[in-house]
Structure 1
């Protein structure tokens, strides 16, 4: 996603403010993304805000995967500023699907105002019918009163104190579709982006890491096997085939079987047994355990393994890509982008020499 976050375009723009038509498009695309997540049984999205919305090559808004709460079904995880936290979280410490709608309402306020306005202050302005104070002055003349009123109405509904009074994502989509212009201008035009502009080219593995498509990452790692270990896997102590050596290799084989069958907990256990013995060093084993940790929602452990893989094999692009995926999972987006770029450079050099 080479064209930054919504926060960058709304709050830190350097050339021109985001156009009204683009703001409406962002609202619709996000509502559709939340509806899609809900239809897939993933209605909880953690800390929805303008930093979690990113733009693709063509300037289309996309909802990043950083906020998906995979194993937090109790909804206890929340980290946003308390001034923007759903009221029920302050009462119960729990996040629900209705809490996500509340956060969507704060995003609508961002789109309207071009500023990060606390919901309570915004609701006071809405009640006092002081909509002009709420609306970004840069948007003057770009929209009709009906469009502005409808977006304010939607934001107000999303920010209701009682969760049951808020709309669901499906009704949000239905309300936002009529606001789109009949002749839709391409996103890259509204964003002022040359069509097809990209930061740097990525291989399928690099793209999978940026998308956090761990299924694709698994398929690629499984396909390449151990061919990149040549010259990197070293025996620290060569010894006769003892029972310990045989047991060590069996641990690795069991880990490979578990990894192939996507039993990632078992893969972590078996690869750990292989690594802890310390007889052999394999960057691929660390890479596979790194992805297995990611699959088990253990991004810090995954990052440590990806770093260790690169210590063993400094020019191995896969280690950089796995570091990027781990950093994305940890919410450290700037560092992740750097790791992605490093991985792409290493991969280009590798392809050039081969």
Structure 2
């Protein structure tokens, strides 16, 4: 899931799309004035949790998570290079019913230059009612926590249904646990993963979102610092019809097989299977694992790659917790607070950074690109105003501005050559409708004009 370095223009929304969206919004306001007011409030405050304690979204000392918003389909199509297969990051690729892409937006609202996003594209008619989809998305979008890969937006254009979340660049727990190449996840990191995910589940439960669909190793993602986060996509169903479990879940809770309903206790059962994954390094049927735990054969269940590098006492506590999560009777399973209380004391390397334990390089944030005011030509190109561009070209004839610096003849000659080359590149780019390159070249010409003085 490494990030490519390409960047895309944010394409303008057509007048037809704008008119359609205005009509949809007006109909919504006419029929739901109270909910419209609530949505306005949520837009303003969506970067804050209701308890006000988690606003950074796990970005350390950096800025906060972008406010929840609605994206146009045009924006997301451009960000994902027209939903290119090369941008797919979901484990099942194009075979999955709902595909997840990475994308990049030119969006000044995304702090610290974090313009990478994850886009989940639902199948056609998965959510036929746009109002219901929007309401579900808003419900998840108000959540903000450093243990969650937060939802930052959605798209509801026509019959298109998409969710937009923070992008996690360091793969999934499934990849690190089952398909590792250089090193397996060390024991202390596995304990950290278990704790962080329970903290995410406990937060969601406290905020009135106790249901999580398809909780498994694919839903645990690693951010730029190597910290594990719970994907927000599992907080929404895959479709409006209520079918909550997909083929990604190897072992479904027994009560779901009986009545087809997901409950908070079902989430605890699924977390128990994740604990088994962390302990064993492989998929083990819960019934088989329970038999071995009861027979005191827990060492046979442990990942052989951890041999000699884990605490038997700590492993016993985690196995006991897993067995409680996997109880057939939902009422006998622990709640999320019990999970946190049990796992928190087991953390034995609190000062070691996650990316070190994962054995991945530290993510270095690229410095933000300096913002310089555009020249009149650059501004006209950025607005794609062909009339203004033509007028500037006719009026100026690329006349040099007066400067204040005296240069030698050689320096003046070289700068004139540079300016001529930049001008030529800008003209070629403009003819090819490569407006980004044209802006850069014409801005370079303008900067050189300010510096050049003809030698006396």
Instruction: Tell me, yes or no, whether TM beats 0.5.
Output: yes
Instruction: Report whether the alignment pairs 1:161 with 2:328.
Output: yes
Instruction: Report whether the alignment pairs 1:57 with 2:234.
Output: no
Say which structure, 1 or 2, has more relative contact order (CA 8 Å, 6+ apart): 1
- Please name the residue that 2:93 is paired with: none
- Residues 47-96 of structure 1, C-alpha deviation per residue, up to 9 Å, x if partnerless? 00001111011100000111012698996421146750000000000011
Contact 1:58 1:197 in 2 (8 A): no
The Cα RMSD (Å) is 3.1
- Please name the residue that 2:285 is paired with: 118
- Please name the residue that 1:194 is paired with: 361
What SS does structure 2 have at the residue aligned with 1:84? Answer: coil
TM-score (norm 1): 0.55
- Residues 203-245 of structure 1, C-alpha deviation per residue, up to 9 Å, x if partnerless? 9xxxxxxxxxxxxxxxxxxxxxxx998679xxxxxxxxxxxxx
- Please name the residue that 1:108 is paired with: 275
CA separation of 1:180 and 1:166: change in aligned 2, threshold 3 A: same
- Residues 19-65 of structure 1, C-alpha deviation per residue, up to 9 Å, x if partnerless? 00000000000000000111111111110000111101110000011
Aligned-residue offset at 1:101: 0.5
More helix by share: 1
Please give the alpha-carbon distance, in whole angstroms, between the structure 2 residues aligned to 1:155 and 1:72: 30
Contact 1:47 1:67 in 2 (8 A): yes
| 1:111-150 correspondence to structure 2 within 5 Å | 111-150=278-317
- Please name the residue that 1:37 is paired with: 204
Aligned-residue offset at 1:163: 0.7
- Please name the residue that 2:378 is paired with: none
- Please name the residue that 2:266 is paired with: 99
- Residues 146-177 of structure 1, C-alpha deviation per residue, up to 9 Å, x if partnerless? 10100000100000001111001111000000
Q: Which runs of 5+ in 2 are unaligned?
A: 1-167, 370-380, 387-432, 444-456
Of residues 203, 214, 231 in structure 2, which corresponds to 1:47? 214
- Please name the residue that 2:351 is paired with: 184
TM-score (norm 2): 0.44
- Please name the residue that 1:261 is paired with: none
- Please name the residue that 1:326 is paired with: none
Please give the alpha-carbon distance, in whole angstroms, between the structure 2 residues aligned to 1:10 and 1:190: 13
Contact 2:237 2:244 in 1 (8 A): no
Contact 1:44 1:75 in 2 (8 A): no
Greater Rg over alpha carbons, structure: 2
Aligned-residue offset at 1:196: 2.6
Q: Which runs of 5+ in 1 are unaligned?
A: 204-226, 233-313, 317-346
User: Paired residues, what number?
Assistant: 218
- Residues 302-353 of structure 1, C-alpha deviation per residue, up to 9 Å, x if partnerless? xxxxxxxxxxxx999xxxxxxxxxxxxxxxxxxxxxxxxxxxxxx9x79857
Please give the alpha-carbon distance, in whole angstroms, between the structure 1 residues aligned to 2:215 and 2:367: 29
Of residues 174, 181, 184 in structure 2, which corresponds to 1:14? 181
More strand by share: 2
Contact 2:192 2:347 in 1 (8 A): yes
What SS does structure 1 have at the residue aligned with 2:215? Answer: coil
Please give the alpha-carbon distance, in whole angstroms, between the structure 1 residues aligned to 2:269 and 2:305: 26
- Please name the residue that 2:194 is paired with: 27
Instruction: Report whether the alignment pairs 1:89 with 2:256.
Output: yes
CA separation of 1:163 and 1:188: change in aligned 2, threshold 3 A: same
Contact 2:188 2:349 in 1 (8 A): no
Give the 4+ runs in structure 1 shifted more than 3 A.
70-76, 80-83, 200-203, 227-232, 349-354
